[in-house]
Amino acid sequence: MTDNDRTCVGLSEDELLRYGRQIMTPGFGEEGQKRLKQAHVLIAGVGGLGSPVAIYLATAGIGRLTIIDFDSVDLSNLNRQILHWEDDVGRRKVDSAGQKLTKINSRIDIHPLSLKITGENIQDLLGDVDLVMDCMDNMDTRFLINEACVKKGIPMIHGGVREMLGEITTLVPGKTPCLECLLPRDLSKKETFPIFGATAAMIASLQVLEAIKLLSGVGALLTDRMLFIDNSNLEFMMIDLQKKPECRVCGGLL
């Protein structure tokens, strides 16, 4: 999408009213809102992170949201996956999430896809996506998405939580390290871990703010740094990140 395309999109009176309190933000304005309206964001996973991520992207007026998850709602999800409610147990997560998101904001396009992200479908899924929100619960799929994003030059906002810990960084191909540079492959096991919903919501909120800044061009991004939060003592740690020159995914890009 070019800047010219973006400026062709206007805002209705309803949109000016609906998003008025964020349009007032210095430097953001109507132009920032138009950029959100033109954006296509893919949310990989609508669980603990993906639920609040999807809600706040929808309320902010992102024009097009693709939500992907192949799972169904389980009672044990409800302590943190706030798009899914008691009556949704047994439903496909994307159906449950899509229904709520449409009620939250009927003026945006929502594309629910109940499927597993694989090496075969990831390139097609990324299509004309502007940004990927990494809200997955397993490392194998995270690495798969990371590699495809690097190949296509699509930014990805990584979030991760477990126990009372959270982490977030914004990955921009060609500019920052990629996920493969940062996390060891031996994290690839899927396991059940302890988690409070509020910890997921905290990281998810930061992911959405990064998305809004990246898409609108306003503010400074959390690039080349990882924010770690330990909620057991409310400690915030900012770690500088470095690309691995020998990284098999992005090594040749920088």
Residues 6+ apart with CB under 8 A from 167: 158, 159, 160, 161, 203, 226, 227, 228, 229
Based on its alpha-carbon atoms, the radius of gyration of the chain, rounded to whole angstroms, reads 18
Shortest CB 150 distance to Zn ion, Å = 7
Token code pair at residue 84 = 């899914």
Using rule CB under 5 A, residue 206 touches Zn ion: no
**Which is nearer to Zn ion, 10 or 174 (by Cβ)?**
174
Using rule CB under 5 A, residue 180 touches Zn ion: yes
Using rule CB under 5 A, residue 204 touches Zn ion: no
Q: Burial of 225 by CB count in 10 Å (0-12 exposed, 13-18 middle, 19+ buried)?
A: middle
Q: By C-alpha distance, which of 176, 182, 178 is closest to 221?
A: 176
**Which is nearer to Zn ion, 204 or 250 (by Cβ)?**
250
Using rule CB under 5 A, residue 250 touches Zn ion: yes
Q: By C-alpha distance, which of 41, 46, 170 is closest to 100?
A: 46
Using rule CB under 5 A, residue 181 touches Zn ion: yes
Shortest CB 106 distance to Zn ion, Å = 40
Cα gap 227→77, rounded to integer Å: 26
Long-range contacts of 18-26 (CB under 8 A, 24+ apart): 18/61, 18/107, 19/60, 19/61, 22/60, 25/218
Shortest CB 177 distance to Zn ion, Å = 5
Shortest CB 120 distance to Zn ion, Å = 22
The footprint of Zn ion on this chain (CB under 5 A) covers a number of residues equal to 6
Range 230-249, binding Zn ion (CB under 5 A): 247, 249
Shortest CB 171 distance to Zn ion, Å = 9
Using rule CB under 5 A, residue 133 touches Zn ion: no
Using rule CB under 5 A, residue 195 touches Zn ion: no
Shortest CB 155 distance to Zn ion, Å = 14
Using rule CB under 5 A, residue 178 touches Zn ion: yes
Cα gap 163→166, rounded to integer Å: 8
Cβ–Cβ < 8 Å for 48, 195: yes
Using rule CB under 5 A, residue 171 touches Zn ion: no
Shortest CB 169 distance to Zn ion, Å = 12
AA letter at 215? L
Cα gap 252→254, rounded to integer Å: 6
**Which is nearer to Zn ion, 65 or 182 (by Cβ)?**
182
Binding part of the chain for Zn ion, among 43-51, 85-93, 103-111, 177-185 by CB under 5 A, reads 177-185
List contacts with Zn ion (CB under 5 A). 178, 180-181, 247, 249-250
